[in-house]
Structure 1
Amino acid sequence: MKIFVILPRVPYPLEKGDKLRAFNQIKYLSHTNEIHLCALNDSKIHPKALESLHPFCKSITLLNLPLNVRLFNLFLSFFNGKPFQVAYFFNNKNYNIIQNLIATVKPDRIYCQLIRVTEYVKSQPIKKTLDYQDVFSVGLKRRIKASSIFIRPALIIEYKRLLKYEAQVFDMFDRKTIISYPDRNLIPHPEREKIVVIPNGVDSDYYFLQECEKEFDLIFTGNMGYLPNINSVEFLVKKILPIVYIKYPKVKLLIAGTNPSKKVLKLKSENVSVTGWVKDMRDCYAKSKIFVAPMLIGTGLQNKLLEAMSMMLPCITSNLANCALGAVNGKDILIGNSPEDYAKLIIFLLDDENKAKSLGKSGHSFIIENYNWEKINERLSQVICS
């Protein structure tokens, strides 16, 4: 079967959740299908991107999003009612190219990742699957409360537009997928239960326990230019760690991940290290004792938790993050709420190495049982190809 896959970003390198998801899905789908990939691009393409994708794709088309066109489309969106992030990824030249590509390839199915690129294929008569992945409107609504008064009006406008658009595109696609049940329940459409839940997975053969000397007590990972991650590490460093320091004044935290913002870089201290981009995140996990992700805003399944638990790190996170994950509190993971809660849980694990190891092993078993890419993508293949 020929599948035309359209993405808002080139799925390589795998430093962001949507890229990781798309790459692993394409890899699996290519086993029994002919994949024709079309990816939009608003930044410099990684030199190994095409080399990494070619083994899984019959054809690859990368379409640039020129800065002047992006800015003009954002300006127009103030008047045409489109969500800003939908307008950002659209232009007429690319639309015409994509229609010609589809006419040439004659795919049996179209797979569209995120509502950001639905404008390109929503009118195609071919059977289509939309991967909502996350509920953007809800994620944005949570960000509004934490935003400055200067950008809040724009965020409120975007929230209302996303809410409307997420409901509109539902009826334009034959099949819909999303990353978790809590996210599905938030989609603003009365038939939301028809959406199939396809979580992210983790390669447990790649992310495995590595015994080495521990240089850090705590670790947080992710795209450190992403607002939910920025808020989380600020909360961790400014609210939680001061309480931990009372008993463990020399506790060291590693913040590892690409594109650290100025706010994140300002958190550097004798006790707090910020790496920026790292070649192999496994090294960071391996030299840390405890993974802490006090997520306050955002939606979807946290890949960082899947990776850390796969490597048998004992993990502490928020109820918000665990809603999508579904781990058992006190058995597979520990859940915090207030700064005092998190500090108490961190101290508990630092005090008792055996309890920390037991939690890590249980978390690892949970991941192996529930988040295997092969099983997950088999379900995706059935959704797209049926």
Structure 2
Amino acid sequence: MDILFLAHRAPFPPDRGDRIRSFNILKYLSQRARVHLVAFVDDDAVITDEHRALVDECVLIRRTKSQLRAVAEALAKQRPVSLTAFADREFGRAVKDIVARRRIDAVYAFSGQMAQYIPDAGPIAIMDFVDLDSAKFAAYAQDARAPMRWMMRREARLLARYEQAVAARVSASLFVSAAEAALLPGSRALENGIDTVFYDPALAVPVASRHPLIVFTGQMDYRPNVDAVSWFARSVLPLIPDARFAIVGRAPTAAVRALAAANVTVTGEVADVRGWLAAADVVVAPLQLARGVQNKVLEAMAMARPVVASAGAAEGVDHAGTIHIASDARDYADRVTALIRDPSGAAALGRAAREQVIARYGWEARLAPLNDLLGLAGAGRVG
């Protein structure tokens, strides 16, 4: 079986939320079929021989279109900016070339921006929206100021129309959680998993800390993460005596870097996030805008750490009560402080969280529905 895999960002290395999902799906498919990858590539992509060995063809195209040009095209063509930003003739030619040369049995499009490259007729088409982008932009619009409020509302409206049209013409529409899938009728959930062999506390060397350590992990130029750590550092941390807050993740924005202080560490990119997670007395996920299953929560649970999360960050995770949910600043501070003061109870909560992740979130089990959706035969790759 030959599968054409389209991605808005090359799934290498698997070190951020979307790439972790796309990499593991690509890996799963490559064990069962011949995969032909066409993807945009960012400056931080690291492509190894091991990665290339997963696919029969690997066409990587660098994005060069500026945001200003994407906006101008979107306004002129009455299209969402999210789509014009990824509209690229070279990418389209690469897709047509593979379809012309190969007998493609199925297309797997990862992220809504890739729907524009799905052939109009022919093979089975699976659209992995991951999250519902129209709902995300609608949420952004709620606290945006003019003229950005108008742009966000426009994006949400046009994307909602586009998402519905795409869902009507593909074989299946997938989302990262049941809550996201419910927003687009006829869709289904394909949940994220976690590599519990890699995220094992027994394999990590904790970073040194002389004070109680609270850790947040994530891509630090992603707006929901920026908003979350800014709010926590300013509104929650002052309520927790003698604690230190570590913001761990690549590409911190100027707003994130400005949070650095005697009790706040902004690490930037780290070689291995497990050392910071292993050192954490508590891991927090205070996201106010959270969509789908949060990898940061699964990773902390797999590392047997106690987690305090917002309702939104915990919504897509089947945690069976093994993480604590907090609401306002006082609630966060009280829950974090209680865990810091009760290390044995915190450790027991962390162990229970790891057991839940092992039982519930292995990648093989999470991705098994793809066998029926794509008509995959077995686990052995066709040579």
1:356 to 346, 351, 354: 346
The correspondence for 2:64, drawn from 58, 63, 66, is 66
**Aligned ranges 1:276-295 → 2 under 5 Å:** 276-295=268-287
Q: Deviation above 4 Å: which 4+ runs of structure 1?
A: 211-214
* 1:111/1:384 contact within 8 Å kept: no
Alpha-carbon shift at residue 143 of structure 1 (Å)? 1.7
| Pair 1:44-2:40 in alignment | no
Q: Which residue number in structure 2 is paired with residue 92 of structure 1?
A: 89
Alignment of 1:1-386 (within 5 A): 1-41=1-41, 43-44=42-43, 46=45, 48-67=46-65, 71-187=68-184, 192=185, 194-210=186-202, 212=206, 215=209, 217-244=213-240, 248=241, 250-328=242-320, 331-385=321-375
Alpha-carbon distance change, 96 to 237 in structure 1, aligned in 2, over 3 angstroms: same
User: How many Å separate the matches in 2 of 1:384 and 1:291?
Assistant: 38
The separation in 1 between residues aligned to 2:214 and 2:232, in whole angstroms, is 10
Looking at structure 2, the residues matched to 146 and 219 of structure 1 have their Cα atoms a distance apart, in angstroms, of 27
Structure 2 residue ranges without an equivalent (≥5): 377-383
C-alpha spacing 1:212/1:76, structure 2 compared with 1 (3 Å): closer
Structure 1 residue 208, shift from structure 2 partner = 0.6
Question: Helix, strand or coil: the match of 1:165?
Answer: helix
What whole-Å deviation, never above 9, does each CA across 1:89-147 have from its counterpart, x for those lacking one?
01234213311211112211110001101111151321110001101111122222233
Residue of structure 1 equivalent to 2:379: none
Q: TM-score, normalised by structure 1?
A: 0.92
The question of whether the paired residues in 2 share the 8 Å contact of 1:15 and 1:258 is answered with: no
TM superposition shift of 1:306: 0.6
In 1: Cα distance, 2:244 partner to 2:285 partner: 15
Distance 1:312 1:13 in 2: 24
In 2, distance between residues paired with 1:310 and 1:146?
34
Q: Work out the CA distance in 2 between the residues paired with 1:122 and 1:184.
A: 23
Judge conservation of contact 1:71–1:88 (CA < 8 Å) in 2.
Answer: no
Contact 1:144 1:155 in 2 (8 A): yes
1:66-99 Cα shifts (integer Å, max 9, x gaps): 236x644431211322211111101234213311
The CA distance in 2 between the partners of 1:143 and 1:52, in whole Å, is 38
Distance 2:188 2:166 in 1: 16
Alignment gaps of 5+ in structure 1: none
Do the aligned residues in 2 keep the contact of 1:224 with 1:264 (CA within 8 Å)? Answer: yes
Matched residues, number: 372
Any idea what SS the aligned residue of 1:56 has?
A: coil
Conserved? CA contact 1:36–1:59, under 8 Å: yes
> Percent identity between the aligned chains?
25
The Cα shift of 1:212 comes to: 4.2
Comparing 49-58 with 253-262, greater Cα deviation is found at: 49-58
Encode CA deviations 1:46-69: one digit per residue, 9 max, x unaligned. 3x414242121111011233236x
CA RMSD, aligned part only? 1.7
In 2: Cα distance, 1:212 partner to 1:298 partner = 28
